[in-house]
Structure 1
Amino acid sequence: MKKIIYFLLAAGLFISSCKQELDINNPNAPTTTVFWKTATDAQQGVNAVYSTLHRDRMVLWQWFYLTVRSDEAFSVSPDIAIPNNMDKFLITNYNFDRSNLIYGDNYVGIFRANQVLENVPNIQMDEALKARYLGEAKFLRAFFYYNLASLYGNVPLILTPSKSTDLPPNATRAQVWEQAAKDLTEAAAALPVRYSGTDVGRITKGAANALLAKVYMQQRQWDKALAPLQYLVEGEGKSVYNLVPNYRDNFLSTTENNAESVFEWQLATNLSEFTPEDTQTPNQNYGSPLAQFLAPLNVGFSDAEIHRWVVNEFHKDKTTTGARDPRLAASFLYDSTDVRGPGFTQIYGQTFAQRYGLTGGNRNRVWLRKFSNDAEPGRTGEGFRSANNYRFIRYADVLLMYAETLNELNRTADAVPHVNRVRQRAGLAPLPANLSQAQFRNQIMHERVTELAGEGHRWNDLDRWGYFESQDKINELIQRDPAFSTFRLDRHRLLPLPQRDVDINPNLNQNPNY
């Protein structure tokens, strides 16, 4: 399907004041008096909200905090700030640039969404299209708040276009979740079921329901999560989404926006951009640097790697024909991506044995394959402009969410078939129908690793399952990831708010025990 290239509206449509309240309009920049007039303005304003997803720190460093900080992955980057802050919980600088950039970029997206929600209602245009644009903006604002609640918790709730003089107070994490749920409920009511042509990739009713379910599940509000998931699995969404037969098609640039895609970040290569991180000119980087940072040693930066226990999780089941779980090879590059071993496993045009030998520490290293472009013929390395879309919510995730929710509502027998759909695609035998609620809960934890490893959900999974609420649970994590030996229950569930914001805003309090 055709990939959307989102038009980038300038990040600062509106001129902020300095402390002296000097307010001089840039004659070359659009202002509210001339911009929000037409349906085209509305479309470009919404597209600007989407374009926030192209900012490097959104797709790159946010992934690190959601995955490397979990027990799935770790970092041995020579940039010691990455393993210290994103892996080992050794956070001493509350103005650490990469954490602050994630925080700031989510608020850039919120600012843009608020501009749409403030101004588009006043535009004379087709009412159905207007409602859709407002629904897209509400979804994206909710998504940015979902990220902020997941990582920082007690952040300011800003629901109108902000000014430089604003001093917003903290909201509680529960209040942030509540606002996200409100936005998503309203978005789901306004958004279409599907798109066609160049609009494919925009936010749908299904995406809004899926993210709404995630918001409720993070609060363990299982009864509220049920309805949006029922829409996707038992209702109208049943005719829209399905599992694709080939698991790896969810991670290839040639099979984007397929039937399994629920919320997919649209990425592309812009050959006219000036630099990999250029955000100051119209020649925006539409691609992602994630593949470059995750690619194996001597191919990319190898700044994040997968713990070996994750690989071992795939060996707990064999297919009905006695073969290895095929998702293993689709998910990781390591010594046995090819089941025949390092002499046959291809790492960007060379065998594992040729690149790393058969002995030594490299033999046990594991790299995530899902965001890579190694399937492209002749590809020998990665770069900062990967056009491979990021499938943030897949239908397999939805099925596992639905099963988890049903189980928590004491409907375990009803939950089993939805997990079996995911297992069947991998060629695995179905689960027995007589599992207890506790047994099924443990099974779901296993299934989410083997189906969704490295896709950016692990931190929230652990949080939802209570792993950050007791030392016994932390001790379990230490067995899989020694970095958790420095995790403090009274501190590290959330990241610190940017200290620069706390220092200049008397209404903003730092997160507990930082």
Structure 2
Amino acid sequence: MKNITYILILLFAGVLVSCEDYLDAPTQSTMDESIIFSKYELAKGAVDGIKEVMGQTNSYRGRFLTHYGTNTDIEWVHTTSSSARSDLSRYINSATNTDMNRTNVYWAMLYTGIERANTCIRGLRAYGEPEPGTEMGQLLGEAITLRAIYYSDLLKAHGDIVARFEPITSETIYLPKSDRDVIYKQLIADLEEAAILVAWPGASELTATTEQVNKAFVKALRARLCLWASGYSQRGDIVRRSNDPELARDVLYPIALQECNDIIAHEGSFVNLESSFETVWRKNCEEVITAGNESLWEVPFAEGRGRHLFTYGVPHQVADQYTAQPRGGTYGPLPNVYYDFDSKDTRRDITCVPYTWSQSNPAYQELEGVDTWYFGKWRYEWMTRRVTSTNDDGLNKIYMRYAEVLLMAAETENYLNGPAAAAPHLKKIRRRAFEEADWAEKVDTYVDAIGSEEDMFDAIVEEHAFEFCGEMERKMALIRWGMLKSKMDEAKGKMDQLRNQVGDYADVPSILYYSYLDDGETLDIYGLERGETDDKSGDYTYQFNTEDDGDGLWLSPSKINDEKIELLYTNNPDQNQFWPIWQVFIDSSNGMLTNDPLE
């Protein structure tokens, strides 16, 4: 797999223990910085050390990337039982959540990464002579960007957080929360500088892989933060936009659009959409990290770290011909999502999988109930490496795709210049989603019929769901659009219609017939498509049947029961958009932190 070495320089030893220890020898620390950040190899090791925290047990690896993002109008946790993870999915946000209320959880790890970044930024500015196009300039741009990544994830999880943009001193050990608007403005300014310093994807040895920060990613992250900062979010008991005029849409949307256009102008050289939607995810599972295609940047994991496939992949119940790790399937698409896709949309069957792998070796595909679908973007059977770890799969998390740049461009163009300006970007996304023979109807006719800004916005919101289902991008998008609860309520209504086969789901079949292809493991199914209602009992070996009711029906009110629909959320999502600061950090903050909203 990827050969990543994280060099933990003694400069950071204090960050890994206590603030008091870190502050014991400021003179020595300064002397170390003059040596470290004046020599490229040492400075590179320090910047690599910023990323080391991503793989820590309860950091991105086993808490943030595995817990944040559900439930939404397209994704949910499968279990109906209460647990620390499922409580968070259902907007039961307790500061003493047992998965999160730990001293080594991602909150501590990300702030450790921020402190390392602050030290690197200070040292590189003082001793590295960082200029655009130089190795030291690249390192400074990367350090600034990694800090912005950590802050952006803390912002989307918690709203108002502690702002630290300088290394800790004895006067700044304990700080209160800052208004998120202050942090957004700092990050947007920082990323403008970082974009000047770093090279385009693949244009340098230092940007050769998707694990390295590059200009396209920095610009895309800046655009994303502009949209977040100018969007809706919960502030106290109210969901509203910022009152800061510097964060108004009329100010930030032009910035976001310019960043997107800068990236789009380099399509074909430094960025590209993959040729097919399936190719995006096969490359991810095959661990292809060559820069210059759709993946703009990835959270890098070594083989023994990371739980993305472990959490989101199509489940394998036992060690079998594809994996020694029987995992996957913690979350999945809502049952209606498969039927909301156009039947000709090639993203549908990649995104929504109705089966698990059997409890046998070799394994074969087994149908689940209509209430249990899995994300098909991540599959052990697509990997070129056999996963043997019991706890980790080592698969990188794609943090930003070029497809998001195109949809951000469409959204900002629509607001600033109208639907005609947005149309080319939406068409590009849909051309990749449909076969060329269907472009006239599914791309051109569909998009050209969108005549108003409101209708184009609605189309972009819908396209976002089809493009990013399972990638845990939807929750923050719904928050900034001011649509979190309303869209989740809409999803509840869709599931109710689906189980009763009424309204938009009146033509969804009740019965599935299935056999296996010649390989003995792959399902051949009739009855998944709308309108497939013929009696196929003579053509297929099996008919869908479940042990719990034995009715032989794929779809009925008993399959998607009231309890599961209502568990999409327990508490009001719009009143619980953000996680609290975990109690262990409040208790150790010397009275500076609370979960009370800022004025």
TM-score of the two chains, using structure 2 as the length reference: 0.70
Alpha-carbon shift at residue 229 of structure 1 (Å): 1.0
Contact preservation (8 Å) 2:207, 2:213: no
Contact preservation (8 Å) 2:73, 2:490: no
- Aligned with residue 160 of structure 1, among 163, 166, 178: 166
Per-residue CA shift, 1:82-114, capped at 9, x if unaligned? 344321122334354436622222212211111
What's 1:135 paired with?
Answer: 141
What's 1:498 paired with?
Answer: 582
What's 1:13 paired with?
Answer: 12
What's 2:183 paired with?
Answer: 176
Task: Name whichever of 137-146 and 163-172 sits farther off.
Answer: 163-172
Q: In the alignment, is residue 49 of structure 1 matched against residue 50 of structure 2? A: yes
Task: Name whichever of 141-150 and 120-129 sits farther off.
Answer: 120-129
Task: Name whichever of 211-220 and 473-482 sits farther off.
Answer: 473-482
Task: Name whichever of 497-506 and 119-128 sits farther off.
Answer: 119-128
Question: What is the count of residue pairs matched by the alignment?
Answer: 469
Q: In the alignment, is residue 290 of structure 1 matched against residue 308 of structure 2? A: yes
What's 1:246 paired with?
Answer: 276
Q: Secondary structure at the match of 1:13?
A: helix
Q: In the alignment, is residue 230 of structure 1 matched against residue 243 of structure 2? A: no
Contact preservation (8 Å) 1:499, 1:510: no
What's 1:281 paired with?
Answer: none
Q: Tell me the amino acid that sits aligned with residue 261 of structure 2.
A: Q
Q: Secondary structure at the match of 2:189?
A: helix
Q: Tell me the amino acid that sits aligned with residue 300 of structure 2.
A: Q
What's 2:364 paired with?
Answer: 351
Q: Structure 2 stretches of 5 or more lacking a match?
A: 232-248, 318-325, 496-564
Counterpart-to-counterpart distance in 1, 2:388 and 2:335:
23
**Percent identity of paired positions between Structure 1 and Structure 2:** 22
User: What is the correspondence of 1:6-85 to structure 2 with a 5 Å cutoff?
Assistant: 6-9=5-8, 13-15=12-14, 33-34=31-32, 37=35, 38-56=39-57, 57-77=59-79, 80-85=82-87
- Aligned with residue 376 of structure 1, among 374, 379, 383: 383
What's 1:275 paired with?
Answer: none
Counterpart-to-counterpart distance in 1, 2:447 and 2:401:
25
Task: Name whichever of 412-421 and 162-171 sits farther off.
Answer: 162-171
Classify 1:4/1:71 alpha carbon distance in 2 versus 1 (closer, same or farther; 3 Å). Answer: farther
Counterpart-to-counterpart distance in 1, 2:138 and 2:405:
23
Contact preservation (8 Å) 2:161, 2:180: yes
Contact preservation (8 Å) 2:129, 2:136: yes
Counterpart-to-counterpart distance in 1, 2:9 and 2:473:
31
Q: Secondary structure at the match of 1:399?
A: helix
Q: In the alignment, is residue 308 of structure 1 matched against residue 335 of structure 2? A: yes
Alpha-carbon shift at residue 399 of structure 1 (Å): 0.7
Q: Secondary structure at the match of 1:107?
A: helix
Counterpart-to-counterpart distance in 1, 2:390 and 2:61:
14
Classify 1:484/1:224 alpha carbon distance in 2 versus 1 (closer, same or farther; 3 Å). Answer: farther
Q: Tell me the amino acid that sits aligned with residue 44 of structure 1.
A: G
Per-residue CA shift, 1:378-416, capped at 9, x if unaligned? 969875342432221111111111111111224211111
- Aligned with residue 464 of structure 2, among 434, 439, 448: 448
Q: Tell me the amino acid that sits aligned with residue 508 of structure 1.
A: L
Contact preservation (8 Å) 2:309, 2:393: yes
Alpha-carbon shift at residue 248 of structure 1 (Å): 2.0
Q: Tell me the amino acid that sits aligned with residue 365 of structure 2.
A: F
What's 2:402 paired with?
Answer: 395
What's 2:346 paired with?
Answer: 326
Contact preservation (8 Å) 2:23, 2:169: no
Per-residue CA shift, 1:287-315, capped at 9, x if unaligned? 3222123342623153323221222222x
Classify 1:176/1:511 alpha carbon distance in 2 versus 1 (closer, same or farther; 3 Å). Answer: farther
Contact preservation (8 Å) 2:257, 2:408: no
Contact preservation (8 Å) 1:84, 1:91: no
Contact preservation (8 Å) 2:273, 2:403: yes
Counterpart-to-counterpart distance in 2, 1:380 and 1:132:
34
Contact preservation (8 Å) 1:194, 1:204: yes
Counterpart-to-counterpart distance in 1, 2:385 and 2:140:
43
Q: In the alignment, is residue 120 of structure 1 matched against residue 204 of structure 2? A: no
Q: Tell me the amino acid that sits aligned with residue 88 of structure 2.
A: M
- Aligned with residue 209 of structure 1, among 185, 206, 219: 219
Counterpart-to-counterpart distance in 2, 1:133 and 1:148:
23
Counterpart-to-counterpart distance in 2, 1:172 and 1:111:
19
Counterpart-to-counterpart distance in 1, 2:417 and 2:375:
35
Task: Name whichever of 5-14 and 304-313 sits farther off.
Answer: 5-14
Per-residue CA shift, 1:53-104, capped at 9, x if unaligned? 3334314432344322333322245984234432112233435443662222
Alpha-carbon shift at residue 149 of structure 1 (Å): 1.0
Alpha-carbon shift at residue 132 of structure 1 (Å): 1.4
Classify 1:385/1:224 alpha carbon distance in 2 versus 1 (closer, same or farther; 3 Å). Answer: same
Counterpart-to-counterpart distance in 2, 1:333 and 1:473:
23
Q: Secondary structure at the match of 1:422?
A: helix
Q: Secondary structure at the match of 1:146?
A: helix
Classify 1:364/1:78 alpha carbon distance in 2 versus 1 (closer, same or farther; 3 Å). Answer: closer
User: What is the correspondence of 1:272-283 to structure 2 with a 5 Å cutoff?
Assistant: none
Q: Tell me the amino acid that sits aligned with residue 263 of structure 2.
A: L
Q: Once superposed, what is the RMSD of the aligned Cα atoms?
A: 3.4
- Aligned with residue 208 of structure 2, among 200, 206, 220: 200
Counterpart-to-counterpart distance in 2, 1:124 and 1:484:
51
Q: Tell me the amino acid that sits aligned with residue 126 of structure 2.
A: N
Q: Tell me the amino acid that sits aligned with residue 149 of structure 1.
A: L
What's 2:448 paired with?
Answer: 433
Counterpart-to-counterpart distance in 2, 1:76 and 1:68:
11
Q: Tell me the amino acid that sits aligned with residue 309 of structure 1.
A: N
Contact preservation (8 Å) 1:46, 1:133: yes
